[in-house]
Amino acid sequence: MNENVAVEEAIPILRVREVAAALGWYLRLGFGLRWEHRFEPGFPVFAEVARGALRLFLSEHEGDARPGGLVYLRLADLDAVAEEFGVVPRDEPWGREIELTDPDGNRLRISDALSEGAGEGARPQA
């Protein structure tokens, strides 16, 4: 495998029962709908939401992903998001975090954008 190949972008796919219902929750988190696709009426919806450079795919397709996934995000406005969802950030050795669960059981662990390193207790790659 060529180690010089750069990954341009990684976009998590989260399984949702209904994109329309999930969208309200992601809008509260500061994401906006970029686009949605359906092969034809009555078929499952596949959509992209974005918040700045962050992108997530929301999929009604049963084979795309399983509910209950975990995505780790770094956001500059952690305190505002925590307040919007009524949670208190936790202080961890690597930074401040909150964890939210969307209506479909997908978890989003969110830290402040300043939490760049792993902090004390991290071990270097062997």
CATH number at residue 45: 3.10.180.10
Q: Is residue 2 part of a domain?
A: no
Q: Is residue 17 part of a domain?
A: yes
Structure tokens at 84: 């919007």
Q: Is residue 108 part of a domain?
A: yes
Q: Is residue 98 part of a domain?
A: yes
* Residue 111 near residue 95 (C-beta atoms within 8 A): yes
Q: Is residue 3 part of a domain?
A: no
Q: Which domain holds residue 91?
A: 13-112
- For 3, list phi and psi in degrees, rounded to 5: -75, -10
Give the total number of structural domains in the chain. Answer: 1
Q: Is residue 7 part of a domain?
A: no
Q: Is residue 5 part of a domain?
A: no
pLDDT digits (tens, 9 = 90+) for 52-105: 999 999 999 998 888 888 999 999 999 999 999 999 999 988 889 999 999 999
Output the pTM of the full model: 0.83
Give start and end residues of each alpha helix (H) in 18-69.
Answer: 19-28
DSSP symbols for 65-84 = --SS-EEEEEETTHHHHHHH
